Amino acid sequence: MGNLSFQLILSCSYLFCLICIASGFVPLDNYLIDCGSPRNASVGNRTFLADNFYSDILSTAQNILANTNSSSLSSSYDSTLYLTARIFDQASRYTFPIKENGRHLIRLYFFPFVYREYNLSTAKFSISAQNFTLLEGFQLDKGSVVKEYSFNITTNQLVLTFTPNTDSFAFVNALEVISLPIELIPHSARIVEMPGDYQNLQSKALETVLRVNMGNQTVHPQKDTLWRLWVSDDTFLKHSTVSIVSNVKAVTYKNGNVTENIAPPSVYGTATKLDSVLDPNLNVNITWLFSVDAGFNYLVRFHFCDIVNSTLGSFLFNVYINSWFAYRSFDLSTLTSNVIGRPYYFDVITSSTSSSALSVSVGPSPEGSYPMAILNGLEIMKISNSQDSLETSDSENGSLKTNSRSKIILIAGLSGGICIVLVVVSALFFVCRRRRKLAAVGHSKEDNFVMNQTGDKNSNSLAVFSTSTFGYRYPFTAIEEATNNFSEDLIIGTGGFGKVYKGIFRDGTKVAVKRGQSKSQQGLTEFRTEIEMLSQFRHRHLVSLIGYCDERNEMIIIYEFMENGTLKSHLYCSDRPVLSWKQRLEICIGSAKGLHYLHTGSTRAIIHRDVKSANILLDENLMAKVADFGLSKTGPEIDQTHVSTAVKGSFGYLDPEYLTRQQLTEKSDVYSFGVVMLEILCGRAVIDPSLPREKVNLVEWAMKWRERGRIQETIDPHLVAQASEESLWKFVEIAEKCLAQCGLDRPQMGDVLWNLESALQVQLKEEKPSDKGELAPRADWIGYLDTHPSASTTQFSMGSLGDLASVSMSKLFAKMAKEDMR
């Protein structure tokens, strides 16, 4: 009896399975539109609905329905879709209601023909969806093209916008919007060129560059549950000793993790393999060459299935991308539990696309018992850059260059804004707790490379991790030696990223060694951002990169050693000697120069995003250098982690406009710099919870006194004896401008620099008359004040110190100066 019911269940589930397979994947959101067509069109098992069926989701615009009787189209399975098109004379939008959040697939069909006065070959236009740029300045001379994209839709609608270029128009022959199975695209994937994972893939748009079926056979959309096209590999194959195997029947998805939605049996059932039958010592790679757009990261998915069922048993082989190991000694048999015909796939991310060639190889591993390598399928997907674009932006071209600089603005969503407010509250405590931590340590949480999208910098930025292009890579053993095996005694700082050690190389070079915790998930991207930024920018006032190490899963960055630590440690909370006013001005000028260079030194402005006294380091001559580029970036990013991190990393220094309007520009750095100037002026922490409430926030406190015309209440008492009044005034004035609520009212870093220099000139001029040291010029006054305290106020308000005078201050002033003179 039990046996019978068991069989019943078995046959039922078998039946159910059959139904599943027969019907394939049923997308909940399923829009198929045969644009321009008055009729429904059958394509394979699907029906593309007539254009007018969906006219209500299209923004009202003058659109033209076009058709052709072109004979140049071969009768491929989707050829009916190309006979008609919709032409957009002006920007137009499709707004698709979305039932199911998650990754959706968008397919756009294009075939240019001539319709009345419209020659579709001349059409030039851009397409964007949500906030992703899918196509920009797109033009198609001839032939049909299907563009395929996927991205995560988190709202209840998808807006697809067609924007014609000036004096041009846009068109589309057909379009598809379907929801994808959740298992299709992972949230993260291993990076080929470095240890660690690429995070946050779900926030990226992907564009299918190619789907390739190995085994010299094209798999048409009818045979794929998601109607994907898999082209034959033979045109990409570099000549080598290969053989083709085909055994579709052997493919079995049963009990495995791979479903038919990942790839159909006709993909797993054919393969290109190394032909080692005649030569058991054969040692060659099978290589496929693909052309891709340089400057992007790519998600590459390898599909494997042992359909060979070799009598020789298991085999090992290596998988490479651009000569990097994508998988070393890949053991298919073990990964598929020795089940012949069970599919397996893995994903990797590659960023080494400084050239437009992507090569994929499989070849024998020396660890294997006999030469064998096989590949069944391959997918290459372009990942949207940090500008949310899938197109190389035009910004490197001509006049747009300068334009883009002024337009680099971060716009976070509303939810991001709410998040910031929450984070700010908690960040107060957080920041207070970690005040003392040395800030040569980065703690950015970016999820992407920063420089990748700038085409003109590809050769630099993308090759950062290959020894051939950069001499920065250091062997781990050398670093171990330099830091005395990462001795605790040499730790000079700790932070979110890991620890910073002082190191001395054999040749006597002192360095700062920042060692990332291998556990830290975000660390990897910080690591890259830092290296990419630092290797690109060389400036007297930016901390230099000496090298890095990524051996053995390490994430180590080596910087020039800054003898005098952070500016912060010289201003308060330490027993370091007090900086003179002149020194403070020089430090200000140095760091302003560094920032000015960041903002203007390259074609795209770099926003540091984490300007603070802890990120300004001083060398043995107290020369200032700006450090910590982990958060720096050229472009926007809208995910929450990064927003909250930005707040975390620089609370107290944060541009209020950024908080309220979520716009980050270079002026946000200017604001933060203004805060640093106040720190320098007042010699206290930005947030000091130990002080009375009205004093906790430095900016509020100082600006309140400034409004009352008594900024002197806040000035570091150490300065009073030495600073020239005029120079102080200039300084306060600049700081105040930097702290303007509205970014537009703040000066450029260049202006700040200029004004600081003039403040220094004033100071120097006043110091000149007497060369007896910093305090000398004021000595006579002090004597006067000390003996005639009652006269002090008058003396000051009339004298050159002007508003700086106040009784309490002059007393302090006198006492201090006396002590110094002894």
Question: Of 282, 318, 308, 322, which is closest to residue 376 (Cα–Cα)?
Answer: 308
Are 352 and 193 within 8 A, CB to CB? yes
Which tokens belong to 459?
Answer: 């050769």
3-state SS class at 533: helix
- Asked if 468 is part of the footprint of ligand NAG (rule: CB under 6 A), the reply reads no
Find the binding residues for ligand NAG in span 721-760 (CB under 6 A): none
304-321 core/surface letters (b: 16 or more CB in 10 A; e: else): bbbbbeeeeeebbbbbbb
Residues 61-80, mask of contacts with ligand NAG (x by CB under 6 A): -------xx-----------
Find the binding residues for ligand NAG in span 524-563 (CB under 6 A): none
- Asked if 459 is part of the footprint of ligand NAG (rule: CB under 6 A), the reply reads no
Interface pick for ligand NAG out of 57, 64, 91, 284 (rule CB under 6 A): 284
| Residue 610 annotated in active site | yes
Question: Of 550, 686, 513, which is closest to residue 192 (Cα–Cα)?
Answer: 550
DSSP 43: E
Nearer to ligand NAG, 409 or 812 (CB): 409
* 793-to-314, 680, 749 alpha-carbon distances in Å: 93, 26, 37
Nearer to ligand NAG, 396 or 532 (CB): 396
**What's the closest the beta carbon of residue 470 comes to ligand NAG, in angstroms?**
19
Are 110 and 141 within 8 A, CB to CB? no
**What's the closest the beta carbon of residue 424 comes to ligand NAG, in angstroms?**
20
Nearer to ligand NAG, 152 or 712 (CB): 152
Find the binding residues for ligand NAG in span 118-147 (CB under 6 A): 119, 121-122, 130-131, 141
Half-sphere exposure of 169 (CA within 13 A, CB side): 20
- Asked if 477 is part of the footprint of ligand NAG (rule: CB under 6 A), the reply reads no
**Binding residues for ligand NAG, how many (CB under 6 A)?**
48
- Asked if 234 is part of the footprint of ligand NAG (rule: CB under 6 A), the reply reads yes
**What's the closest the beta carbon of residue 170 comes to ligand NAG, in angstroms?**
15
Q: Which range in 79-87, 333-341, 527-535, 669-677 contacts ligand NAG by CB under 6 A?
A: 333-341
Nearer to ligand NAG, 172 or 250 (CB): 250
Interface pick for ligand NAG out of 7, 11, 40, 334 (rule CB under 6 A): 40
**What's the closest the beta carbon of residue 409 comes to ligand NAG, in angstroms?**
9
- Asked if 323 is part of the footprint of ligand NAG (rule: CB under 6 A), the reply reads yes
CA dist 451 and 392 (Å) reads 12
Interface pick for ligand NAG out of 111, 169, 320, 781 (rule CB under 6 A): 320
* 786-to-714, 770, 780, 798 alpha-carbon distances in Å: 22, 21, 10, 17
**DSSP H helices in 164-289:** 265-268
Burial class of residue 5 in the structure, from the number of CB atoms within 10 Å of its CB (0-12 exposed, 13-18 middle, 19+ buried):
exposed
Interface pick for ligand NAG out of 30, 76, 257, 338 (rule CB under 6 A): 257
3-state SS class at 428: helix
3-state SS class at 391: coil
CA dist 675 and 22 (Å) reads 66
- Asked if 697 is part of the footprint of ligand NAG (rule: CB under 6 A), the reply reads no
CA dist 632 and 702 (Å) reads 28
CA dist 32 and 175 (Å) reads 6
- Asked if 102 is part of the footprint of ligand NAG (rule: CB under 6 A), the reply reads yes
Question: Of 191, 273, 159, which is closest to residue 527 (Cα–Cα)?
Answer: 191
- Asked if 163 is part of the footprint of ligand NAG (rule: CB under 6 A), the reply reads no
Find the binding residues for ligand NAG in span 182-211 (CB under 6 A): 182, 202
CA dist 816 and 684 (Å) reads 18
Q: Which range in 149-157, 348-356, 519-527, 716-724 contacts ligand NAG by CB under 6 A?
A: 149-157
**What's the closest the beta carbon of residue 11 comes to ligand NAG, in angstroms?**
21
Q: Which range in 37-45, 470-478, 502-510, 644-652 contacts ligand NAG by CB under 6 A?
A: 37-45
- Asked if 216 is part of the footprint of ligand NAG (rule: CB under 6 A), the reply reads yes
**What's the closest the beta carbon of residue 256 comes to ligand NAG, in angstroms?**
5
Interface pick for ligand NAG out of 12, 18, 39, 291 (rule CB under 6 A): 39
The residue from 197, 233, 610, 716 that is catalytic is: 610
Interface pick for ligand NAG out of 160, 250, 300, 675 (rule CB under 6 A): 250
Rg (CA), the chain: 32
> In degrees to the nearest 10, what's the CA dihedral of 598, 600, 606, 607?
80
Name the residue with the smallest CB distance to ligand NAG: 202
In one-letter notation, the amino acid at residue 65 is: L
- Asked if 50 is part of the footprint of ligand NAG (rule: CB under 6 A), the reply reads yes
Nearer to ligand NAG, 378 or 589 (CB): 378
- Asked if 340 is part of the footprint of ligand NAG (rule: CB under 6 A), the reply reads yes
- Asked if 30 is part of the footprint of ligand NAG (rule: CB under 6 A), the reply reads no
Sign, CA torsion 712/714/717/718: negative
Interface pick for ligand NAG out of 208, 270, 352, 361 (rule CB under 6 A): 361
Q: Which range in 47-55, 206-214, 511-519, 739-747 contacts ligand NAG by CB under 6 A?
A: 47-55
Find the binding residues for ligand NAG in span 380-409 (CB under 6 A): 396-398
Nearer to ligand NAG, 271 or 817 (CB): 271
Q: Which helix (H) or strand (E) holds 459?
A: helix 458-461
> In degrees to the nearest 10, what's the CA dihedral of 85, 91, 95, 100?
90
Q: DSSP labels for 337-354?
A: TT-TT-EEEEEEEE---S
329-338 core/surface letters (b: 16 or more CB in 10 A; e: else): ebebbebbee
- Asked if 483 is part of the footprint of ligand NAG (rule: CB under 6 A), the reply reads no
Output phi, psi for 252, to 5 deg: -135, 125
Which tokens belong to 388?
Answer: 């949310």
Nearer to ligand NAG, 197 or 396 (CB): 396
Burial class of residue 597 in the structure, from the number of CB atoms within 10 Å of its CB (0-12 exposed, 13-18 middle, 19+ buried):
buried
Which residues belong to the active site?
Answer: 610
- Residues at the site binding ligand NAG, with contacts judged by CB under 6 A: 22, 24, 39-40, 45, 49-50, 53, 68-69, 102-103, 114, 119, 121-122, 130-131, 141, 152, 154-155, 182, 202, 216, 234, 242, 244, 250, 256-257, 283-285, 309, 311, 320, 323, 337, 340-341, 361, 363, 396-398, 411, 413
